[in-house]
Amino acid sequence: MVYENPDGVRIGLEVHVQLNKLNTKLFCGCSTKYHNSEPNTHVCPVCLGLPGSLPVINERAVEFAMKIGLALNCSIVEQTQFHRKNYYYPDLPKGFQTTQYDYPIAGQGKIMIEGEDGERVIRITRAHMEEDPGRLQHMGSIDRSKGTLINYNRSGMTLIEIVSEPDMRSPKEARRYLDKLRSILDYLDVFDGDLEGAMRVDANVSVFNGERVEVKNISSFKGAERALLYEIMRQKNHIRRGGTITLETRHFDEARGVTLSMRTKEEEHDYRYFPEPDLVPLRVADRVPEVLKTLPELPDAKKERFMKEYGIADMHARALTTEIKLANFYEEVAAKVDPKAAAVWIADILKGELNYRDLAIDAFTVDDIVDIVELVTSNRITEQSGVEIIRTVLDHGGKPQDIVNEKGLLKVEDDIVAKAVGEAIAENPEAVADYLAGKEKSLNFIVGKVMQKTKGRADAREAREKVLEELKE
Amino acid sequence: MITKEEVEHVGWLSRIEIDAKQSDSYAEKLNSVLDYFGQLDEVDTEDIAPTYHIADIVNVFREDEVTESLSQKEVLANTENKQEGNFKAPRIM
């Protein structure tokens, strides 16, 4: 199957990743742990842009940036430096943002995603380092606001901006790209993606290979998919009505799900980039071999290994390796019980129950799922009971073995099932006659009676087979 | 040559109001500064590596260790426009 891309959609994404697992900001020693703090309590003369203050680069931030670059299969530049990007906006106390310009620390990489028609390469143009601006909060709604409140706690946090080529052909592929990026970054342990503002997305999108429109202010992955769906539809409708698409920047209004034109008079050359004289250049390419040694096994490689080592299906291996925490959880379980059964129970069942409750894998213990898988594979409880135990543990707590005892989930012996089948058939001659006359539904009725008699502890599939056997004779 | 319009544009980028009378005189002064620096264009820099920084050093780093921040009171000491620990600015679109 080949995806035709009927509307000629091209999407490129710029993702800002905040390296909030560093202890300090990019150019000063202020703590990065400001998320639950009072405004303007994690700032100093450097990140407040006070005259005379001097920035010094956080060495670990450079290492993190290199790690990310290498994990995205980029090459690390021989020499780089920081530039000043000048613009006046109150979120930038200095009047410029310190960023990288013509020599980003990492360039020309690629990652693989599951595209519309199979594996797809998304090329990475560049990944560069820059500082985060402060946070603005409008007093009241944006159009009737009386003023703006500014909190500089975020100012100077390390950002990595990852820019892709326009290689995505649908909002779905864009979403897959974002998920993959998040997965890789989680593996690298450079950021906590659950913290507010940890990943922010700008999208460039065009249809029928026309001019591109930049959509800003997307704050979630779901938001990215919605913004793109809307923007593609808007561009197609505009062209259908005889309009043309011109280069512009639009703002995504999350609440209304629409993109709005932002008239901006500033253009690239208005930023008057020039080398930051307060920082000396970086020459770090010779550290690449050492940083490579610190790279963990990444999602694609782990997926391949899981398939080989545990003999599990591609689909399961993929589901189990998307999140590093889930992958580690699975490996612990697979070391104790049948890896194939463990894959089914974790990827298909446990993950579904967790997602349904909006819980992470931390909500369940390795020991509990090991117990459940053992109970099922040794044929002591039914699969249905296994699911019930998982739900009970999640909703009310408790240990699997205790739940089995309390609820009487141990499978009943075969002869008890046989006895119940005999009784159900003897007591319901009408249903039997209907079934033999061709009414399939009557079979379910008889099986239901068997389940009633065994108080649900018989395996429904086995009960059905036994009833069928009896009726054949 | 810097035109009057360019002076006004740069003024806008810097959020500085420049009235019509001033912009002519700014253009004149800026052009004389540019002419002065224009002398540098006469130097032949073919085959010379760009100077990225006047000090010939690279890789000046600090450890990722937390140092003390200012107190909120100190941070806001130089402004009268504050509210609930924030700086307060005029409405921004």
Domain ranges of chain B: 4-42
Question: How many residues does this entry show for chain A?
Answer: 473
Q: How far does B81 lie from chain A, in Å, by closest CA?
A: 10
- The residue behind tokens 């779905």 is A172
Cβ of B53 under 8 Å from any chain A Cβ? yes
Alpha helices in A115-266 (DSSP H): 171-188, 221-240
- CA distance readout (Å), B50 to A252, A350, A386, B46: 41, 59, 69, 10
Nearest to B88 among A81, A147, A283 (CB): A147
Q: Taking the CB of residue A104, how many other CB atoms lie within 10 A of it?
A: 25
Q: How far does B54 lie from chain A, in Å, by closest CA?
A: 8
Q: How far does B51 lie from chain A, in Å, by closest CA?
A: 10
Domain B4-42 belongs in CATH node 1.10.3470: no
Same domain, A373 and A452: no
Domain boundary residue among A353, A386, A407?
A407
Nearest to A287 by CA among A137, A451, A447, A67: A67
Total domains present in chain A? 3
For residue B5, the model assigns a pLDDT of: 86
Take residue A210 and report the two structure tokens written for it. 């026309």
Nearest to B14 among A22, A57, A88 (CB): A88
Q: How far does A393 lie from chain B, in Å, by closest CA?
A: 41
Q: Do B54 and A277 touch (CB under 8 A)?
A: yes
Same domain, A70 and A107: yes
Domain membership of residue A5 (yes or no) is no
Average the pLDDT over B56-84 and give the result: 93
Domain membership of residue A325 (yes or no) is yes
Domain membership of residue A4 (yes or no) is no
- Contact between residue A445 and residue A428 where contact means Cβ atoms under 8 Å apart: yes
Q: How far does B25 lie from chain A, in Å, by closest CA?
A: 22
Question: How many residues does this entry show for chain B?
Answer: 93
Same domain, A453 and A310: no
Same domain, A60 and A125: yes
- pLDDT by position in tens, chain A (length 473): 788 888 899 999 999 999 999 999 999 999 999 999 999 999 999 999 999 999 999 999 999 999 999 999 999 999 999 999 998 888 999 999 999 999 999 999 999 999 999 899 999 999 999 999 999 888 766 566 678 899 999 999 999 999 999 999 999 999 999 999 999 999 999 999 888 888 999 999 999 888 899 998 888 888 899 999 999 999 999 888 888 888 888 988 888 888 988 766 566 678 889 999 999 999 999 999 999 999 999 999 999 999 999 999 999 999 999 999 999 999 999 999 999 989 999 999 999 999 999 998 999 999 999 989 988 888 788 888 888 889 988 899 888 888 888 877 777 666 677 778 888 888 888 888 888 888 888 888 888 888 888 777 777 888 888 888 777 76
Instruction: For residue A97, give its domain range.
Output: 10-291
Domain membership of residue A433 (yes or no) is yes
A205 pairs with which residues across the strands? Answer: A11, A213
What SS3 class is residue A142? coil
Q: Assign residue A467 the CATH number of its domain.
A: 1.10.10.410
Same domain, A52 and A189: yes
For residue A473, the model assigns a pLDDT of: 63
Query: What is the C-alpha radius of gyration for chain A, rounded to an integer number of angstroms?
Result: 29
Cβ of B73 under 8 Å from any chain A Cβ? no
Q: Do A31 and B66 touch (CB under 8 A)?
A: yes
Q: How far is it, in rounded angstroms, from Cα A296 to Cα A91?
A: 36
Nearest to A100 by CA among A159, A47, A186: A159
Nearest to A57 among B13, B61, B72 (CB): B61
Residues of A in contact with B69 (CB under 8 A): 30-31, 41-44
Residue of B nearest to A277 (CA): B53
Q: Chains A and B: how many Cβ contacts under 8 Å?
A: 133
Same domain, A303 and A172: no
Alpha helices in B1-93 (DSSP H): 4-13, 20-38, 72-75
Same domain, A433 and A397: no
Domain membership of residue A194 (yes or no) is yes
- DSSP characters over A374-431: HHHHTTSS-HHHHHHHHHHHHHH---HHHHHHHHT-SPPPHHHHHHHHHHHHHH-HHH
| Residue A467 φ/ψ, nearest 5 degrees | -60, -45
Taking the C-alpha atoms of A465, A466, A468 and A469 in order, what is their torsion angle to the nearest 10 degrees?
Answer: 120
Domain membership of residue A3 (yes or no) is no
Cβ of A78 under 8 Å from any chain B Cβ? no
Nearest to A131 by CA among A204, A51, A33, A58: A58
